[in-house]
Structure formats: structure tokens, C-alpha cells
Structure 1
């Protein structure tokens, strides 16, 4: 039953995070970490539909809490993710990472329940700062460098978003966060600011560049909030924006191609995030109730199965630390045969892989298919064909490649056990949800933003998907010699600002140094000439250096006064 909750539930997580460092490690910190997200979830469901309390700000009203089915859906999955992520990360000794992760999750909830653009922007920027700290917390040089590139992209996105918001408020005279069309400078800037956080081109590389550099637990939190918050604001702000169909389709195939080329297991899954968000953005661009329901449901399901996959990868990373690999083994070329000693991790990772591949009776099947159905209903044959082909590509890179190369390929002789109980519990919990939602989609369909009139388990749909996945798997093993990973480096758009951009910077710096040196050389030359001239005038027997008589000085003063008088009168 809804109650009159007006305090932002996101602030319970964001502000409560700062009490974590005060908690002694043990049952008290564990209880607090697990209870806080559950309290925030209860508050999300305690917010009544419609705007909550409004607060005056300049000539406008700030509405920090506003709820409906869409915001409640995203608030629920964000708090659920914070709970499962906390359970998984109980062994994390870096308290600053956990503090930042809770602030990060709380800010995502704040965006989901924001009723105005100013509140959205404030929580949006807190997310950028908190997620940067999560990456920093890994404590490696590569993590620091990646976090610097990450925060520069997100600060750029924040500036673009702020410009759009200010221009929009000047145009319409309101800060309310409602549906818009990208038909003006203001709304186009807002749209660009949103899709930068979604990992859209040409800045998609920030995601696979930064997320895999976080710790074994940090990457799990990072996978859930930034891109899915972007999906939420796009559903809320730009439903049916046609350009999003093409942006989403590009992201889908971009993620597939780069994931197939990748050797690092967490970078495979990071590129897969871009790919999966592409499905959601395509659905938003289609804009019908079916497609928007599909985008929202797929975001909900994706947070669960993607976190499960990264929990599986993080467990491998955590349990394979040794003198040779102090941070754990992360490359496919260093892994293999782990199913023998990590059976639970393997099973949970495989369930996540099946869910992301839309295998029947998993959560991905009952969510992603709604987006394809939305395209079919609108007779968008081109989009439908690409979405269908992309489903096969997803099975290749995430459904088979990840579990095969990590758990089943050639045995490397390493025998780490399954991770500690809390990590196993988090994986089992999300694996259960992947299957439960796939078998019983009713509870998820009931909380979607629009009434659901869709039956995923028709004979034709199940058979078609099984055929598609079967032939994709057959193609993978036929082409397995080509799929074997090597120690190679794939170039992405970030090359332009990491390599080409730095080269331009060095050239510009050298040119600036030369100009500066020439300038100071000229100043020194003029100064030296002036000094020599002054010394000539003030030498002992020079004009200004020798002693003048009183009469001569009086004459000079009279002449100067006469010149001044003539100039003044003219």
C-alpha cells in the first residue's frame, strides 16, 4: 500500500553510505550494508503516484520525488542491485569503494524518482563522481588512467546536458521533466547528454575502457547504474525519437563485433553492456507501448543477468590471485578448465550467459522479444531483421564465448575453489531470478509502465529462438579455430583522443613553447636595449646625468609649460 513518502529514497543510500566507514567490520557493517538497500526499496514502494512535496527554487519548483510505474520499476531494480552487490562485496576491504558504490546506487534511484530536470542533473553528476571513485578504488595505475578518461567523458556529457537544460528552461519556462522531442537546440543537447551516458557512439569506448579496470566487486556495481539510468531518462524524455532506432542498432552490432575480438573476459562483458543497451535504445526509438515495455523490462532483466555474469567473472578474478597474477587472471588466454574446481561459479555464469542470449525459460527471453515484437507490429522489417540477427550474435560472444573460454577450453592446470559464501549466495540469488522471471514473467509484466498484452511462450516463438541459438552455437564450434583469442589490441574511437589527440596536444604544446620562447626573447632584447639607452642618458657626463644650473632648469620648465599650453588650446 502506498504511503506519503516525500523524502527521496535515493538519499537514504547516498547519505547512508557515509556511515559505512564508521561501522566496525563484522556483523554490524554486514547488517547495515544489507538493510540499507532494502529500506530504500521499501521507501520506493511507499511513494504515492504523482509529484511529492515541491520546494521553491528561484522562480521554479523543485520536485525531488515523483513516482509512477516507470520510476518505481527502475527504483526497484536499482535498490535490488544495491542489495545483491553489497552481499557480493562483503569481503571487500576497501571501504571507500563501498561508500562510493552506495552513493552511486542512491544517485541512480534519485534520478529515477526525480520530478524535475534540476534534480535529475544534480543526481546525474553525483553518479559521475561516485562511479569515478569506484574505479579509482582498484588502486592500480591502469584504473587511475582509465578513470581520468572516464570522468572527462562524463563531465563533457554533464556540460552538454546542463547547456540543454538551461536552454530548455529559457524556452518553455519550466523545469518539469516530461516527454520532449529533439527538434530544437535545447532538446537536442539534452538528448546528447543522455545518450553519452548510455554508451552511444562515438564515445562508446569509455565503458569497456573503464569498467574492467575496477576491482572484482566494483565492476558489478558499475554494470548496473549509469547506462540503465540513461535508458530510464530516454524512456521518460524521448519516447519514439526516430534517431534512437539507428543509434541503438549501431550499438548492438558495435558491441557484438568488439566482444568477439576481445581477449579480456570482463571487457567481453563490458562490450556486451553496450550491445544490450542498444536493444533498449532501439525499443525506445520505436516508441510504442509494446516497445517501451520491452525496453523497460529488458533493462530490469539485464541488470540482473549482467551482474550475474560479472559476479561470475569477478569470482574467477578473486580466486585466481597469486604471485604471477596479483590482481587475478582476466584474459581468456590465461584461463580454462575451471569447471572442475569452480562448479557453482560455472553454473551461475552459464545461466547468466543463457539469459543474455534470450534462451527460453530465462529472463532475457521474456524481455528482449517484446522489443522485436514492437518492431514487427510497426512493420519495421529492417529493424526486426537486424534485431533477430543480433540475437544470434549475442549468443556467440556472451552466451558461448565467455563460459567456453573461461570454464571449458583447454585446461590451464589452475584449480581455484568456488568463492566465499556471500559471493556464492549473491550469484545463486540472481541466477534464481533469471530463471524465475523467465518461467513466470507475470510479476515483472505487472509492474511495467503500460498494460502488457503479450505472450512470449508461443510455439512458433520458442521454436524459432531455439533454432536460432542452435545454429549460432553450431557456427561457433565450426569456427572455433578463428575464435581462439590471442594477445592483440583492438582499436576503438577512443584512439582519437588517446593517441591522435595526444599527438596533436604534443604538437600544439611544442608550438606554444616556441611562441612563448620567442616572445620572452623579444621582451629581453627590448628590455636590454632600453637599459642601454637609459644608462647612456644617465651616465655621469650624459644629458640627464650631469648637474644642471638653476637657470637652465627654469628655462626647461618654461618650455615644457609653453608646449603644454599650446597643445591644450589646440
Structure 2
């Protein structure tokens, strides 16, 4: 085994801190919780471009650390999210959640800087473990178990695809490929499970709202965006991603418009916004891939901010349903401001980070002459303003107070929300640093008068539609039927009928088993007597049993 050691990985810093953190007392625990993400963010920019660690193991070429432009973008986004999430949740009393959150963030950094498929898979599984523990730390065992089962499925699919790729090519390198074999389709399916693609998108809205007021901030930042990065590396330009991404965008829009719970609404919105990134990856041009990466960064910033605002509301009132909220603009002005800034950035309001990243995606679609996807995503983008820029503020921030505010956000929570607000607005007003991260978008017209005017017209049009459809968009009590009903509720509904059908089979099976036991007893007695007398077996029976045993063996081998 040969090794070349390079700089320290930000993933190892965060994972090691997460493992040590539960052993420390409160002051040191909080200090480490804040310090580890800051060190990891600094290391993202200290890592030189190219492979930093090379290992030859059992004839396989492993590159545990490798940095490129996409690593920098996603590593920066993950680092900011981890640092802001730690600052926001530093007062969270659960040491388990804090430790799991650091391990979770470290796994995301590990995926960002993986240079081979095996390293990628190891961090992929650590990502699933860390996120599951974040959910479990809030006492939601059933939601955590459902989440874990979905990600076990994704991990199994990914591992099967990687194994098939190694068997076919003998290489572990992370390189662009097409889904042109069973193994690569399995790999793509495993990645899409983590991205929240249909028909398994419901796990996002099922799991994320079950986390604590601080845990949901971490959950919103890492899993789906890490999957987008892996799609960029492995399947750029894959045609199937165009339709998959568009379906995700429409699904997220429809369910967010229907949802009453703020955190479930934001979770559905995650699926929809990741759909934009998946479509861009499906285009596959350098501009489209850079736009997908920048939209992932912007999405991590504004979705973390929105989850912080929702968490502050939950912590203060114990309520996240729009039907139970109102008047929060007066009762919680800092939280209301954070929700507005995050929502306007998601809706691509000019002078916000979301406007920059979505403009880059639309420019990539236009350059590729993908007119249908351009019009479809433009409509979805305008529709997102209905639920995030109008519905959410209208029913939660305005009107009479329906839920009493028991406690205001702490100074650290306000500082985290304020920092993200500043980043989102500064990135929209001065997009130069985003162009530094992704030089491919430098030629995209963003802060031009006609482009800003077009976007404002879209938002005004969405506002008129909201006023017209207000009775239909008004939230109501109840739950929204989603695809997960098929495996969560349908078995319970079908159980009574299944018991009746099984009873009929059991009766018929009991008669068959009794007859089989009588026949086998008679056969055994005759066979024992014949063996004891050293009698010869007829040739026909020998051939029959030999053939039967061979068939059973072949069947077992095939399975």
C-alpha cells in the first residue's frame, strides 16, 4: 500500500468533533460545537485543488481527498450551513443531537471531497446514520425508522451499482457516465432516493418536520444537496434527469401550496427546488452544472434561514400550523424579517441570492434551447412565490394572534438568522463572489434592467393570482394524501381483508399439510425397511430424487 498524505480533511474534523462532543461538559461542548464547523470551513479553502491523498489498496486506486471547483462550492455551502446551524442551535440541550449534527455535516463534507466511489459510499452511509440520529434525538423513533429504511434502500441500490461498475470496469474513479447498464441504473436510482425524487419524495416531508426546532436546520442543508453533487459528478447530461427534475419541481410546488404545516411546507419546497438543480444537471453543459451548484449553495442558505424561522416559531409557540398562527410580525419581528428574506430569495426576488442562481439555470436552459423546460420552470418559479412569498407571510405573520409567544429567540439564534439574511442579500446585490466560485456564469445577464423587470412582472402576476385564488389557498386542518400512503396506510386498510383471505388459505393448507405428513410417514417407513434389508432402489426412483435434488440446488444457486 502506498500513501501520499495531504492536508487535513474538513470531514474528519467534524466527525471527530461529533464523536468527542458527548464526553465534554456543557461549556466545552458548546465551544467545540461552534469551533469545529469554523475550522472545517477554513479547511475547505486551504485544500489545494487536485488529489490530496492517494492510497493503493487491494489493487484499487483510492482517493479519499480530492478538491475541485464543485468541491469548493458545496464545501463552502456545507461549511456555512454547519456553522450557522451550530450558532442557531448552541442552546439546544440535547448532546446527542449536537454530536449527530456534526457527524452529519462531516459526512456531507466527505462526499464533497471524495475522489473515488468507495470513499463516496462510506461517507454516504455515515450521512444516513448521522441524519437518522438527528431525527431520533428528538424522540421520534418511528419517523426515524421510516427515514432509515428509505436510506437503507438508497444505500443498497448505490452499493449494488458501485459493485457492478467495479466488476465491469475495474475502476473506482469518479467520472461522468451514462445510465447505459443495469449497474449504472442502480447507482442512479440510489442517488435519486437521497435527492428526494419521485416516487419516494414523501420521505422529506415525513422526516424533516419530526426533528427538533434546531435539528431541522441541519437536515434541510445536507442530504438532498449532497445527492445533487454526486449527480453532477457521475451523471451530467443524463436525459432522464430532465423529466425527473421537472416532476420534482411540480410535485414540490403542488404539495407546498396545499400544506398547512410550515415545516412540512418547507420540506415539500426542498423537493421542488432540488428539482431545478436536477434539471440543470440533466442539461449537462458547463454553464448548467455551475448553475446547479450555485443554486444548491443559495438553496442551502435560504432554506436554512427559513427552517430557522420556522424553528423559532415552534420553540416560541409550540405551533407550526398556519391555521393556528397569525400576527407574528408584531410578536416576533426578527423572525418575521428572516422569513421574508428567505422566502423572497427562494422566490428569486431581484437582489437576492436565489435570483442569481435561478437566472443562471434559466440562462443554461435557454442556451441549450430547452424551451419546454424553460417555460415549465419559469411557471414553477413564479408559483413558488404563491406559497413562500404570499401564503406563508399572509397567514403566519399578519392578522390576529392565534398562538401565544412564550419565548423570544435567543441572541445566538438571532445572530445566525441575521448572518444568513446578510449573506443572501449581499450575494444578490454583489454577485461577484458567486462568479468567483463559478466563473462559467460570468456572462449571464443578471442585474440588467430588462431581466429585473421581467422577474418583477412575474412576481406581480403571481400576487394577482394569489388574490384571486385566496379562498382556495387558505390553509385547512387535516392532512395531505401523499405517495407514502401506499406503504404506510394501505397495508393497515388491507389487513382485515387479508386476514379473511389468509384464513381460507390456512384451512386449505392445513388439509394439505396433514395429507403430506401421512404420505411422508408411509414413505419413510418403507424406505427404512428397504435400507435395513439392503434392498435395491428402483432405477426410476433414483433418477427422480436425483433430479429433484439437482433442481433444488440450481434454484438455490440462482437465488
* TM norm structure 2: 0.89
Distance 1:561 1:336 in 2: 87
Deviation of 1:183 (Å): 1.2
Kindly indicate whether the alpha-carbon contact (under 8 Å) linking 1:4 and 1:46 is maintained by their aligned counterparts in 2. Answer: no
Distance 1:198 1:398 in 2: 21
Kindly indicate whether the alpha-carbon contact (under 8 Å) linking 1:41 and 1:75 is maintained by their aligned counterparts in 2. Answer: yes
2:136 is the alignment partner of 1:167? no
Gaps of 5+ in 1: 321-327, 532-558
Q: 1:209 to 1:522 in 2, by over 3 A?
A: same
1:549 aligns to what? none
> Where do 1:58-97 residues align within 5 Å?
58-97=58-97
Deviation of 1:334 (Å): 0.5
1:445 aligns to what? 435
1:144 aligns to what? 141
**Cα deviations across residues 495-524 of structure 1 (Å, max 9, x unaligned)?**
111122455577667766876787678778
Q: 2:481 aligns with which of 485, 491, 500?
A: 491
Kindly indicate whether the alpha-carbon contact (under 8 Å) linking 2:324 and 2:403 is maintained by their aligned counterparts in 1. Answer: no
Kindly indicate whether the alpha-carbon contact (under 8 Å) linking 1:108 and 1:225 is maintained by their aligned counterparts in 2. Answer: yes
1:118 aligns to what? 118
Q: 1:220 aligns with which of 217, 220, 223?
A: 217
2:46 aligns to what? 46
2:472 is the alignment partner of 1:482? yes
**Cα deviations across residues 413-454 of structure 1 (Å, max 9, x unaligned)?**
634453111111110010111101011111122012746322
Kindly indicate whether the alpha-carbon contact (under 8 Å) linking 1:289 and 1:450 is maintained by their aligned counterparts in 2. Answer: yes
**Cα deviations across residues 100-138 of structure 1 (Å, max 9, x unaligned)?**
111111001001100110111111111111111111111
2:298 aligns to what? 301
1:465 aligns to what? 455
Q: 1:31 to 1:472 in 2, by over 3 A?
A: same
Name whichever of 502-511 and 459-468 sits farther off: 502-511
> Where do 1:70-469 residues align within 5 Å?
70-139=70-139, 143-320=140-317, 328-412=318-402, 414-416=404-406, 418-448=408-438, 450=440, 452-469=442-459
Name whichever of 559-568 and 294-303 sits farther off: 559-568
Q: Over aligned residue pairs, what C-alpha RMSD do you find? A: 2.8
Deviation of 1:561 (Å): 12
User: How many residues in Structure 1 have an aligned counterpart in Structure 2?
Assistant: 531
Q: 1:567 to 1:471 in 2, by over 3 A?
A: closer
**Cα deviations across residues 390-427 of structure 1 (Å, max 9, x unaligned)?**
11111001122122221113432634453111111110
**Cα deviations across residues 354-381 of structure 1 (Å, max 9, x unaligned)?**
1001000111001111111111111111
Distance 2:160 2:51 in 1: 25
Distance 1:470 1:561 in 2: 93
2:13 is the alignment partner of 1:12? yes
Q: 1:119 to 1:449 in 2, by over 3 A?
A: farther
2:524 aligns to what? none
Gaps of 5+ in 2: 522-528, 539-559
Distance 1:505 1:121 in 2: 38
Kindly indicate whether the alpha-carbon contact (under 8 Å) linking 2:246 and 2:279 is maintained by their aligned counterparts in 1. Answer: yes
Q: 1:173 to 1:503 in 2, by over 3 A?
A: farther
> Where do 1:500-515 residues align within 5 Å?
500-503=490-493
* TM norm structure 1: 0.88
Distance 2:380 2:533 in 1: 89
